[in-house]
Amino acid sequence: MASKALNIPNLLTYGRILAVPLIVLCFFVQGELSSSDPARWTALAIFILASVTDFFDGYLARAWNQQSNIGRMLDPIADKLLVSTCLLLLAADVERVIAGWTLWAAIIILCREVLVSGLREYLATLSVSVPVTRIAKWKTTFQMIAIGMLLAGPAGDKIFPYTTNLGIALLWIAAVLTIYTGYDYFRAGLKHVVDAEK
């Protein structure tokens, strides 16, 4: 059991969870939200490394036949912690990278993460799994690229002037895909919920 918990795919998942407080630390200096360029580039580097582990932990677990219950449980938790923390940080950032109407895109994504997690947990008690669709994978891709660009924010704008604007546009695309995939999941999931009540 210990060897399964400490296999390489699971260690990558643990690393993704540990990346969350490190990103938070990048944004806080002496208790104040930092807008310094080095902090943003460091947060972005950690975020990119954490995002890469999201691909490799699942891939290696399947390739090496090292899938485990703890990995199945922690993988989606690590993903949601990473995305939710970054969105909340960007909304609280002194640079106001996510503000105004763009807050709704972040809220849509956060609400979907919570609702789909609850649905998946309930369906697991019915021994029903909801497969990840191709559109859901595209949603995740747009979402991660958007968050990366927004983490760079004003620091990125100094190199590529439209970094923040492009990040916001991609976040809205991710939010629209979030609504679509969320509806898809609930339509499929509620069918099993209704059938279980009969």
According to the 3-state scheme, what is the secondary structure of 149-160?
HHHHHHHHHCCC
In the predicted model, is pLDDT for residue 47 greater than 90?
Answer: yes
**pLDDT value for 30:** 42
Q: What distance, in Å, lies between the first and last C-alpha atoms of the chain?
A: 39
CA distances from 42 to 22, 82, 110 (A): 9, 15, 24
Q: Which two tokens stand for residue 186?
A: 């609930």
pLDDT tens-digit profile of 106-150?
999 999 888 877 777 777 666 666 667 788 889 989 999 999 999
Whether the Cβ atoms of residue 1 and residue 59 lie closer than 8 Å to each other: no
CA distance 31 to 166: 30
Lookup: tokens for 23: 């990103």
> Within a 10 A sphere around the Cβ of 147, how many other Cβ atoms?
26
Q: What is the pTM of this model?
A: 0.85
- Sequence-distant (≥ 6) Cβ neighbours of residue 163 within 8 angstroms: 149, 152, 153, 156, 157
The set of residues, in sequence order, having a beta carbon less than 8 Å from that of 158 and lying 6+ positions away, is: 37
2-197 in CATH: which number?
Answer: 1.20.120.1760
Residue 32 gets the label, from left (phi > 0), alpha (psi -120 to 50) or beta, of beta
More confidently predicted of 20 and 64: 20
Given a contact cutoff of 8 angstroms between Cβ atoms, the answer to whether 151 and 163 are in contact is no
Domain boundaries, the chain: 2-197
Residue with tokens 């996510």: 98
Mean pLDDT of 57-64: 72
Euclidean distance between CA atoms 163 and 25, whole angstroms: 23
Handedness of CA 144, 146, 147, 149 (dihedral sign): positive
